[in-house]
Amino acid sequence: MQEKFYLTTAIDYVNGAPHIGHAYEKILSDVIIRHKRQLTDNAFMLTGTDEHGIKIQKTAASRGITPKELCDENFSKFEQAWKELEISYDKIIRTTDEQHKKTVKQIFKKLLENGDIYKHSYTGLYCSGCESFLSPKDLTEDGLCPDHLKKPEEITEENYFFKLTKYKDKIADYIKTHKDFIQPSFRVNELLHQLENIEDISVSRTKESVQWGIGVDGDDSQTIYVWIDALSNYITAIGYDIENPTEQFKTLWPADVHVIGKDIIKFHSIYWIAILMSLGLELPKTIFAHGWITIDQSKMSKSIGNVIAPHDVLTAFNLEKPDAFRYYMASAAQIGRDGNYSDEDFKEKVNADLANNIGNLLNRTLNMLVKYFNGEIKSEFITDKSNKIAVMAENTKNQIIEAFNHYEIAEAADLIVSFADAVNKYVTETAPWTLAKEEKMLETGKVLYTVLEAMRHIAIMLYPYCPNIAEDILTQLNEKIDFKYENLYWGGLKSGKITEKEKIKPVFLRLDSEFATDKKKG
């Protein structure tokens, strides 16, 4: 059992509404934290919104509203989206929160006192999309930002700079000596290469350029820039204070994992780490960089018109519950690789895995229990842990825990489906309907018990992905709703009356099936 587990997501920029890429990260994070809650009583998930900067300032001005009004409007959209997807965060932070702003000022002052911040006049290429200065070698052959495909603006300003180069060798050594620090590991060489050419970074902008942000105490000409503002949310949200950190901070920090997109790995694995080193704080245990989600094999783009909101998918398929979408997104890509969303693939995958494989297995087994034994499990039906399905259940549990330890979320989902496949094969091989026809009722009962006990295991293992389906499975097994891994032992399904014919319902109806009405597709 783990004492604690602290997970953070990237904080989303509230210049627009949430899309499927935002949803992918939050679903991955929620699946991880739900799994960890099955193992510990002290698992904490932080998410949030990044609410300062020039883009918000300009967008608000173009609409004739204040930056705060724009932030409030879009924050509510993110909050609603995560509610619809049942993202079970423990706290959602906004960088406009007063406590965050107060602590960011403290952090800036501390870095300044440590001699790690200095003022410097600088001319550079600034991409407003990245809210970052870029060097010429970062640009495409046409001189464009590779992410936003726009030409950066040449800016000359006197700003505060952070001595990132001071920590260059220390960070490189840490990355090389801590094999679990960067996940997936294939990102390590990319980061080490970036470190070779690293320069000090601007951590403020002039008030003339950026008014919407946290001001520097003692210097009215400067606004604290994103790297100290946004990145510090991971510690300000849980009570970090230079002089008097809270008990929650002392308990939760360091973060066990920062879940982020691959496009911001440099900022988290280099910039953030250097800031923490300067503050004298422990470093996060793992930085997990996931890939991107494409739409029908094309990168999401407003100009193409293929940006999809998670709400649109739930609405299009009339999903009352988000389980199918959560499952599909969480299993969309192997660790750190890009995934793809398409309507057809979505339907095919969730129909095959959730409806045909898992749902149908439960449904037909419970119906046989009613048909042959009036819905009752007799004590002599209970099988021991030496049978092959019990052994496979134990192995699957251990493999899932190991997969989650390495943030192999899609791979863990595959293990659950493979186990369900094996149980389906077991039903075919043992043919309980034939055993019953031959009046071998003890053997029939043992087969049905084995399958239903396997279904209890599947429900607990599936819970992080599909919390509602998992609860429905346990309800139909007349089991207590408890998804802790301590309940994953063979023989947990007790004897007695389990169900009746009228209580047996599909836990997931096939999408677009003739039985899935507009109100029941979820």
Domain parsing of the chain, residue ranges: 342-503
What spatial distance separates the first Cα and last Cα of the chain, rounded to whole Å?
34
pTM of the model: 0.93
Is 299 annotated as catalytic? yes
Q: Is 7 helix (H, G, I), strand (E, B) or coil?
A: strand
Is domain 342-503 in CATH 1.10.730.10, yes or no?
yes
pLDDT of residue 124: 79
DSSP state of 151: P
Q: Which entry of 36, 100, 145, 268 is annotated as an active-site residue?
A: 145
How do 219-224 and 214-216 pair as beta strands? antiparallel
State the Cα–Cα distance between residues 43 and 515, nearest whole angstrom. Answer: 39
pLDDT of residue 43: 98
Q: Give the tens place of pLDDT for each residue, 333-388.
A: 999 999 999 999 999 999 999 999 999 999 999 999 999 999 999 999 999 999 99
Averages of pLDDT over each 10 residues, the chain, 522 residues: 89 94 97 98 97 94 97 97 98 98 98 96 79 79 83 88 97 97 96 93 92 96 95 98 96 98 96 98 98 85 76 93 97 93 94 96 98 97 96 98 97 98 98 98 98 98 98 97 97 96 93 48 39
Angle between helices 388-405 and 409-430 (to 10 degrees): 170
pLDDT of residue 42: 95
State the Cα–Cα distance between residues 397 and 402, nearest whole angstrom. Answer: 9
pLDDT of residue 522: 40
Q: Which entry of 127, 258, 268, 397 is annotated as an active-site residue?
A: 127
Q: Which entry of 299, 388, 494, 520 is annotated as an active-site residue?
A: 299
Q: How many residues are recorded in the chain?
A: 522
Q: Is 340 helix (H, G, I), strand (E, B) or coil?
A: strand
Q: Which entry of 35, 71, 100, 130 is annotated as an active-site residue?
A: 130
Angle between helices 360-373 and 467-476 (to 10 degrees): 10
Is 466 annotated as catalytic? no
Number of other residues whose CB lies within 10 A of the CB of residue 305: 7
The greatest distance separating any two alpha carbons of the chain, rounded to the nearest whole angstrom, comes to: 90
Nearest to 26 by CA among 43, 4, 41, 45: 45
CA-to-CA separations, 71 to 85, 233, 347, in angstroms, rounded: 21, 16, 35
Nearest to 200 by CA among 283, 118, 110: 118
- The counts of H helices and E strands in the chain are 20, 18
CA-to-CA separations, 405 to 256, 285, 328, 338, in angstroms, rounded: 11, 12, 21, 20
CA-to-CA separations, 297 to 4, 149, 285, 331, in angstroms, rounded: 39, 19, 33, 16
Q: Which entry of 148, 150, 250, 503 is annotated as an active-site residue?
A: 148
Contact in structure between 312 and 339 (CB atoms under 8 Å): no
Is 258 annotated as catalytic? no
Q: Give the tens place of pLDDT for each residue, 114-167.
A: 999 999 888 878 887 777 778 787 788 888 888 778 888 888 889 999 999 999
Nearest to 35 by CA among 47, 23, 25, 27: 27
pLDDT of residue 155: 83
* DSSP one-letter string for 345-407: HHHHHHIIIIIIIIIHHHHHHHHHHHHHHTTEE-GGG---TTSHHHHHHHHHHHHHHHHHHTT
